[in-house]
Amino acid sequence: MIRQLLPDVPRTIFRPSIVLGDSRRPETTQFDMVRAFVFLAGLPLLPLRARDKLDIVPVDFVADAIATLHQKEKPAHDTYHLSSGANSQTYEELTDTLADAQRTTRPMYAPALEGPFTWMVDRLSNWRGSPVGYGASLLKVFLPYLVWNTVFDNTRVTAELGRTPAPFSHYAYGLLKFSQRHNFSYPYRPWPE
């Protein structure tokens, strides 16, 4: 549609997958998807398929890609998928890494529970004004991304940048601990006098 409506306007379209955390540091100021991640990371039973891939990309890769490609006189393409692509990790890889880091048992996977889990999340999301309702509302938004097993082709952006994004398993534990330690808020400090 953009090509039809604005045929003479130069444009670059960036399509990020799940942007979660920063691979350089555990701190974040964006907690919506992090809340869902921490909740799911704490469950002993997941209504997911262990071998499905989750296309998570760190914000530092996304920001660098957008800034770098915007500064190019003529990018090679007009559309880029800012994602982990074929290097996206499976749920099993991610949960194994987190279990090892936390010294806990790995969760079990029960994909047959996806339907009942989705139904429960849908019902709980109607509890307006409660922490449970808020958490369920977040899960309701992100659940399709978690169960579709979709990975986007990032070869265009990685070819132009000359690098790939850091795997989520490399920085997931730090993000998890930071978020829990600070109760999903950034510990802002007042400006010096």
State how far the Cα of 93 lies from the Cα of 114, in Å rounded to an integer.
20
Return the closest-CA partner of residue 179 out of 50, 56, 11, 27.
27
| pLDDT at residue number 8 | 86
Tens of pLDDT, residue by residue, the chain (193 residues): 777 888 888 788 999 999 999 999 999 998 888 888 888 889 999 999 999 999 999 999 999 999 999 999 889 998 999 999 999 999 999 999 999 999 999 999 999 999 999 999 999 999 988 888 988 898 898 888 899 999 999 999 999 999 999 999 999 999 999 999 999 999 999 999 8
Coil vs helix vs strand at 19: strand
pTM (2 d.p.): 0.89
Domains of the chain are 10-108+150-181 (3.40.50.720)
pLDDT value of residue 99: 94
Nearest to 156 by CA among 46, 77, 71, 42: 77
What secondary structure letter does DSSP report for 85? G
Give the pLDDT confidence score for residue 5 in this predicted structure: 85
